[in-house]
Structures are given as structure tokens and as C-alpha cells.
Amino acid sequence: MRARFVVAKVAGSLATLAFVLVVNFFLFRVVNDDPTASMFRGRNMSADQIQQRREQFDLTGSRLEQFIAYVGQTLRGNLGDSFLSNRPVTTEIREAIWPTVALVGTSTVFAMVIGITLGIYAGWRRRSKFDVASTSFSMFTYSVPDFWLGMLLLAFFSVSLGWFPTGGFEDAGSTATGLTALLDQAHHMVLPALTLTLAYIGEYMIVMRSSILDTVGEDYLQLARAKGLRDADVRKRHAVPNALLPVVSLTALNFGFILSGAIAVESIFSWPGLGQATLEAIRGPDFPMLQGLFLLFSASLIVANLAVDLLYGFLDPRVAGR
């Protein structure tokens, strides 16, 4: 892989990150030129308190001064203090990040494995009953709002059957440690993870299926068959490896959505992750928190995009050579 290719991609990502910083500033200070105003509406606060809040959010001084202050702070890793808890946004995020990574990460891996497997068999036997069934299933899950699916699962498995807890990360007041605590957390994670897995499967399935369909007519498969390979070997050794590329990039890209992927679903299951934090920040409204979360969500997607580009350059040399 050429060094120039890597440098260009990294520079592009940094430029995008800079754009996100500008957007982030623009959204919170220009679209709504005094974001604190909506907070004070209908609340009993003295002029002093309001001024304090405004200073805390750096709303004093000209736009340019505000922008420079914001960029400087952000680069030093200071995202400000949450309006709701008065603690640094970075601390709040650090506490909420692991539940989300555990939940969405697990779901992404399950969805990937199941979706790719379904896609391979569906594409290989086009128009078979299996293909029709799994394609219909994927179209259906694609059309269902994920949080509504969560509501259905919650109503059925938790409320009606009582198999799973109705929400949270672990039993209230639990003092368990070690394996017991882990099992308890896993028990709480089953339903939200099932919801997200079902919601994500369709995308993998459809992309894998159409990629397999693209390879089915290729000459090298014809050759493999002519050599007398069994159908399963043609599929496993020749079709699948060649068809995997688009799915690899989809997967890498979806890792960028792990942090922001479960905003509504987390709130259904009161899962104490970044999604729940986002919802609380919306309700506040807690602008420093929302601003920090948005920066984090965007940055993770930018990094994932960069990873996809570099991976593509590595897996498909034609891309980097051009």
C-alpha cells in the first residue's frame, strides 16, 4: 500500500473532524444563538446564576472568541461540565460508554455472523424457499422501528412470561461480584441485545446476498465446477471469499455506529449507556453533554470510515494504486 494513499486518507479524516467541530459549534451557538435561554424559561433563577451559566458555556465575547475558546478546550480534552450533574462531560461519557459497547458490540457480532450466513445461502440458491423466506424476514426487520421491536419483546418476554428483567443493567441494590454479577448483567442484556441483533441482521443479509449474486456468474466459479469440485466447495472456497469484500467494509463501518447505535432501544430497557445519556441530555436540555456526545459519535464514525478506506486499500490493491 502506498504511503501517499494512507497520508491522503488520514488527512481527509482530520479535515472531516475539523468540519464536525465547526458544525458542532455552529449548531449550539449560531442556530440557537443563546442555548441557555431555553433552559431558563419558566425557571426561577437569579440574574447572577444565569450569568454564571452563560460563562460556564462560554457565551460571553464575540463569536470568533467563542469559537477559538471552544476549539482550544476541546483539543485539550475538556468538553465542559454537564448542566444536569455539574460533573465533567468526559466523566459522564466514560461511565456510560462500556454498557453501550458491551450491548451494541455483542449485537453487532451476532447480527454479522447470522446475517452473513443467511445471505450466503440465500444468494447461492436464488429464488429457493430459503431465499424467499430470509429475504422477506430481512425486509420486515428493516421496516420495523427498533425501539418498537424492543417494546414488543419486553411486553412478551418480561411482562407476560416473566423470563427476563424489565430493564436496567443489573438487579437493583445488587452487591454481587465476580461471576454472579456477570451472569446477572448478561441476563439483563438478553432482550436489548436480541432487539438490536434482529434489527441489524437484515442489512448484513441483504448486502451478503447481493454480493454472492454478483459472483455467481463469474468465470472462476465455472472453472471450479469444471474441475469437478462439489457445490459446497465451490461456494466455500471460491464464491464466499470473493464476495466478502463489501461485507467487510459494511462491518467496519458499522463499528463506527456502535456508540450511537442504540439511542432509542437503550431507553426502552433503561440500559445505562450512551443512548440513555443522550435521551437525558435531550430532556434537560443539557447542551454541553449533547455537544460532547455528538462529537464522540461523529469521531467514532470518522475513525471507522478511515479504517474501511485503509482496509480496502489493503484488501483490494487496485484502490490504493489508483
x-marked contacts with other proteins along 272-291 as a string, rule CB under 8 A: ------xx-xxx-x----xx
- Least spacing, CB of residue 311 vs other proteins, in Å: 16
Window of 15-23, 72-80, 114-122, 184-192 that interacts with other proteins by CB under 8 A: 15-23
User: Is 197 or 267 the residue whose CB approaches other proteins more closely?
Assistant: 267
Rg (CA), the chain: 24
Of 21, 25, 35, 99, the one binding other proteins by CB under 8 A = 35
CB 57 within 8 A of CB 36: yes
Chain centroid offset of residue 50 CA? 36
Of 114, 151, 190, 194, the one binding other proteins by CB under 8 A = 151
CB 260 within 8 A of CB 252: no
Binding of residue 182 to other proteins (CB under 8 A) = no
Q: Where on the phi/psi map is residue 85: left (φ > 0), alpha (ψ -120 to 50), or beta?
A: alpha
- Least spacing, CB of residue 166 vs other proteins, in Å: 7
Binding of residue 202 to other proteins (CB under 8 A) = no
DSSP alpha helix (H) spans, the chain: 3-26, 37-40, 47-56, 63-75, 89-124, 129-143, 146-153, 178-216, 219-226, 231-233, 240-255, 263-268, 274-283, 287-315, 317-321
The closest of 100, 99, 82, 83 to 91, measured between CA atoms, is 82
Q: Which of residues 77-136 bind other proteins (CB under 8 A)?
A: 126
The C-alpha cell 464514525 sits at 301
Total number of residues that touch other proteins (CB under 8 A): 50
- Least spacing, CB of residue 205 vs other proteins, in Å: 15
Residues that bind other proteins (CB under 8 A): 16, 19-20, 23, 27-28, 31-32, 35, 126, 139-140, 142-145, 147-148, 151-152, 154-155, 159-160, 166, 213, 216-217, 256-257, 260, 263-264, 267-268, 278-279, 281-283, 285, 290-291, 293-294, 297-298, 301-302, 305
